[in-house]
Structure 1
Amino acid sequence: MTGTILAEAARASKAWPFEEARKLLKRYPDGRKPDGSPVLFETGYGPSGLPHIGTFQEVLRTTLVRRAFEALIGARPEDGRTRLVAFSDDMDGLRKVPDNVPRRDLLAGHLGQPLTRVPDPFAAGHASFAHHNNAMLRAFLDRFGFDYEFVSATERYTSGAFDAALRQVLRCNQAILDIMLPTLRDERKRTYAAVLPISPTSGRVLQVPVEVVDAEAGLIRFTDEDGTLVEQSILGGRAKLQWKVDWAMRWYALGVDYEMYGKDLTDSGVQSGRIVEVLGGRKPEGLIYELFLDAKGEKISKSKGNGLSIEEWLTYGSEESLGYYIFPNPRSAKQLHPGVIPRAVDDYWQARALLAEQPLDKQLGNPVWHLARANGGFDGAEAPGAGDRLPVSFALLLNLAGVLGAAATREQMWSYLARYVPGARPDQHPELTRMVDHALAYNRDFVAPGLHRRAPQGAEVAALRALDALLARVDPDIAAEELQTQIYEIGKQPEYGFASLRDWFRVLYETLLGSEQGPRMGSFIVLYGIANTRRLLAEALKSA
């Protein structure tokens, strides 16, 4: 497929990454900056804690927009028309000691110091707490194959790379204060300054009033913690900027064209956008995304621990399923808890199977197209894995694991799968092997502990006996779809009193599988085996 054909289709697509990318096309109609430099995308990270699922979603979504923009302008990733910077704000002062780190007393003695000067509590051989967390961030992003450039605030400040921008901040100091002071409480106004000097005695990042002495020389005057009046340069890493000023300065210094951020930073985005214009720059394009919620619909908080970590998701589902779950409308809040994983896994595979059958305009709305392009760089002719199908669904595997119990093993699961998928072996089906392992883990941790098969009641008993009689007489090699049709017929019989087939299948799920929802029963019975299913029926009827 030529880049022109893809670009034409992309310009008409309503998928959100293309809608975002078109903002950049309005900014640069030729698909290039006036000076010919790459269009710059940025994501930000605060290394006061370990990278988490929020970090993943921001880098993923930004990458999706980046690749969508390349499609719009007919470029390939290797053309170098775009860049993605993962910026670490590691000059920030340590505000509090995190709850989830060892040797917390070690960190307590370094409150207020830049994170790159705080010792590493993990004793992992890193130069500082920030260096440790930055290493974790890079390993985290590399794990998912993201194409990015890591940039450290400390390196930029101390090397002098930000010096020109810092001088510009001092030149515009009063204009910046005019923007910021009206947004602050009276008490905060008294100590607010655009520049945060680093104390020459304690090494802490100070929140103190600052007087600009000489903007061109980078000189300021402030009162140190011990009461000493200090005149000091802000260049070369001897100061950093307040958060909103720092964000604007970064946009100005790096020439950032696109950055998205969470709803909780809406006000910061407005003020930083005004400040970057004062500096002589331009606010990046971007979107404001909604935050994740827990199972109760409450905002996820690291201190509460009510979220879901990357490691937890990848224990029970694939990386692709996580990307698929995150993909839809970023402006809509999403609940993030273990209960959403099984559906996300199956939805991903359904979309992946559908991709090869879709015309290009529909492919561009399929999340799998975007996820495959995110880091693989395929040209849009056919996404890697397009048309792939798994012989069983994740829901079906979960139900199989459920009836086998908490101690179910991979070997047991494959013994059933080999009957359902002739000749199937783990080494021949790596994707299915991963899914089996995820299903076993999910069953062990979430299904088996609360599994309860209720006893059938009233006419339900007769309906289950009818199903048992059906299984006693069918051909052992009956196809799953044919068996499903005959199970339908039982549920339609008026003597059993089911208002709908949904009610009939709910009875099967609750009495045989211990779940309110379940798979297509024809497929489950063929996978689990007719004799085994009749034993489940016998147990259910015995409990009536």
Structure 2
Amino acid sequence: MTVRPEPADLSEEIVAAAKVSKAWPFEEARKIIARLERRGGKDEVLFETGYGPSGLPHIGTFGEVARTTMVRHAFRVLTDDKIPTRLLCFSDDMDGMRKVPENVPNQELLRENLGKPLTRVPDPFGTHDSFGAHNNARLRAFLDAFGFEYEFASATDYYLSGRFDQILIRVAERYQAIMDVMLPTLGEERQATYSPFLPISPATGRVLYVPMKDVNPSDGTITFDDEDGREVTLPVTGGRVKLQWKPDFGARWAALDVDFEMFGKDHLSNQPVYDRICKVLGGEPPEHFVYELFLDDKGEKISKSKGNGLTIDEWLTYASPESLSLFMFQKPKTAKRLYFDVIPRTVDEYFAHVAAFGRQDAAAQVNNPTWHIHSGAPPVINMPVSFALLLNLVSASNAETADVLWAYISRYAPGVTPAAAPELDRLVGYAIRYYEDFVRPKKVFRAPDELEREALAALDAKLATLPKDADAATIQDAILDVARGFERYLDPKRKGPDGGPGVSGLWFQALYQTLIGQDQGPRFGSFVALYGIDETRLLIEKALAGELVAVSAKQ
């Protein structure tokens, strides 16, 4: 996936449709346009994402950049790309390391450096100058690999280089006004020691959470007691101090004149604080977009330090980055489980949207997720086999290599080859890996009961009457015809072709449980067409003979 640095060539119809589209990136872009109109215009619009490198980058980090890129593209379309834009990915790498992440090596090394800025903590992986630098490099390598157009910014660099000196002096000058914002949000004990300034201890190098004995705005210094009890006076400039995280949000917005930043719902209660501090320091808060948090398989919030949920690398082991971008696009204000079982559905939804794009009018195209994922230029992809079908094919054929799967695919879709269909070839590899890691361990065949044995035998006989090249629709009709001969599988709430009862889902559940070893799957007729009629009849024979249950018992 490449995120285009400029909008694709746009037709008048697309631009007109974009102006009235209710897709959320356009809604956010319109807020930025209204902001510019209130301010009388601006030479450049700055989009920002924040990143806390206390642990390894996770999918939420990628999602923030991907979603912001979608809003940026929507803004450029609505403004005819006449206003320059920048995307700044800002790493808060000067934060003190408050706890040791559970998913990194050399835990003792990190414990010895608790409290120090992340860019002064040794790298437990031994590949970079610091833990912060290691995590920053991981983030940048990932974003670079997928073509995001962005600028990387390090808080350590900004503080040490003096780029924040002016705003830090302003914090000293307006110290009491900031305290008036912060103190009502704190408990009584915290109020007694709070300061927006966090000095870096000259003695230990740790970030200190200590009260200020004096803040002198005339010379830009603070005075406090160091960890050894000695009174120390430091300039607020030159990287000798940093700001507490809430004042840091507002101060950064004011210093850089940020126009748009999104953040997770866990920041929602603090947003008014960020905004007020930004205003105290003479800035105007950016437009915000608050997204819901991702949940793991247990419904708990994903945490970098815990390492729960999916990592970037894990998703990309089993599915494409485009599918990950689709997951980020869909319902960003709804809490969603981000775990392995969402991958197959998301993959197939992505290709369904790609296939639909070429058939849609302009109004539908600008609402199509792939238009936003690919910055207005979705690819043309013919995907004759779904990911769900491939997983079933791997399961039924016990395929361990792509060559085995391609033998079935080539028979099902003559002329389709790995060279002619690289996206499908990539999907084949994903399917094999996903099956081995997540489907096979849970695969349990159930022995058919007496009525199911009768129904399976009837299905076998019905399939024997079909031509070898019968298409999926013909096979599906035959499967339904068999089910209608058994009262158990009739559903009076559904209508059959003759107006009578339709077929219950119990029939297909029985087929999947006895023949595939799963509770459900895609249309069974499509699976048979791909796997083969003779091969499916052999599966039925094995199920009736108890061979599939026997294999399951040995695993």
> Could you say which TM-score interval applies, normalised by the shorter chain?
over 0.9
Cα deviation for residue 213 of structure 1 reads 4.2
In 1, Cα distance between equivalents of 2:117 and 2:41: 35
In 2, Cα distance between equivalents of 1:299 and 1:213: 39
In 2, Cα distance between equivalents of 1:542 and 1:437: 32
Residue among 33, 36, 49 paired with 1:28: 36
In 2, Cα distance between equivalents of 1:385 and 1:281: 41
Which residue of the partner structure matches residue 188 of structure 2? 186
Q: Deviations over 1:151-192 (max 9, x none)?
A: 111111111111111111111100110111111112211211
Cα deviation for residue 267 of structure 1 reads 2.2
Which residue of the partner structure matches residue 376 of structure 1? none
1:447 corresponds to 2:439: yes
Residue among 363, 370, 373 paired with 1:371: 373
Judging changes above 3 Å, is the alpha-carbon distance between structure 1 residues 511 and 212 closer, same or farther for their aligned structure 2 residues?
same
Q: Counterpart amino acid of 1:164? A: Q
Cα deviation for residue 4 of structure 1 reads 5.6
- Summarize the alignment of residues 141-540 of structure 1 with structure 2, pairs less than 5 Å apart: 141-373=143-375, 380=376, 383-386=377-380, 388-405=381-398, 408-494=400-486, 497-499=489-491, 500-540=503-543
Cα deviation for residue 97 of structure 1 reads 2.1
Judging changes above 3 Å, is the alpha-carbon distance between structure 1 residues 238 and 511 closer, same or farther for their aligned structure 2 residues?
same
1:82 corresponds to 2:85: yes
- Does the CA contact (< 8 Å) of 1:294 and 1:307 recur in 2? yes
Cα deviation for residue 480 of structure 1 reads 2.2
Cα deviation for residue 368 of structure 1 reads 0.7
3-state secondary structure, aligned to 1:237: coil
Which residue of the partner structure matches residue 116 of structure 2? 113
In 1, Cα distance between equivalents of 2:306 and 2:169: 41
3-state secondary structure, aligned to 1:119: coil
Cα deviation for residue 520 of structure 1 reads 2.1
Calculate the TM-score normalised by the size of structure 2: 0.91
- Does the CA contact (< 8 Å) of 2:67 and 2:329 recur in 1? yes
Residue among 65, 68, 71 paired with 2:71: 65
In 2, Cα distance between equivalents of 1:404 and 1:540: 14
In 2, Cα distance between equivalents of 1:384 and 1:396: 24
3-state secondary structure, aligned to 2:480: helix
| Paired residues, number | 528
In 2, Cα distance between equivalents of 1:262 and 1:400: 39
Which residue of the partner structure matches residue 15 of structure 1? 23
In 1, Cα distance between equivalents of 2:533 and 2:14: 50
Q: Counterpart amino acid of 2:48? A: E
**Structure 1 stretch displaced more, 254-263 or 477-486:** 477-486
Residue among 86, 95, 116 paired with 2:98: 95
Cα deviation for residue 297 of structure 1 reads 2.1
Q: Deviations over 1:260-293 (max 9, x none)?
A: 1111111222211111111111111111111111
In 2, Cα distance between equivalents of 1:438 and 1:142: 22
3-state secondary structure, aligned to 1:331: coil
In 2, Cα distance between equivalents of 1:34 and 1:152: 31
> Sequence identity of aligned pairs in percent?
54
Cα deviation for residue 104 of structure 1 reads 2.2
- Does the CA contact (< 8 Å) of 2:56 and 2:304 recur in 1? no
In 1, Cα distance between equivalents of 2:178 and 2:102: 35
Which residue of the partner structure matches residue 49 of structure 2? 43
3-state secondary structure, aligned to 1:9: helix
In 2, Cα distance between equivalents of 1:272 and 1:117: 27
- Does the CA contact (< 8 Å) of 1:4 and 1:74 recur in 2? no
1:131 corresponds to 2:139: no
Cα deviation for residue 299 of structure 1 reads 2.1
In 2, Cα distance between equivalents of 1:524 and 1:469: 18
> What RMSD in Å do the two structures reach over aligned CA positions?
1.9
Cα deviation for residue 391 of structure 1 reads 0.9
Calculate the TM-score normalised by the size of structure 1: 0.93
Q: Counterpart amino acid of 1:468? A: D
In 1, Cα distance between equivalents of 2:109 and 2:330: 42
In 1, Cα distance between equivalents of 2:241 and 2:178: 17
In 2, Cα distance between equivalents of 1:414 and 1:370: 32
Q: 5+ unaligned residues in a row in structure 2: which ranges?
A: 1-8, 492-502, 550-555
Judging changes above 3 Å, is the alpha-carbon distance between structure 1 residues 520 and 62 closer, same or farther for their aligned structure 2 residues?
same
3-state secondary structure, aligned to 1:137: helix
Q: 5+ unaligned residues in a row in structure 1: which ranges?
A: 374-379
3-state secondary structure, aligned to 2:430: helix
Which residue of the partner structure matches residue 377 of structure 1? none
- Does the CA contact (< 8 Å) of 1:58 and 1:260 recur in 2? yes
**Structure 1 stretch displaced more, 459-468 or 57-66:** 459-468
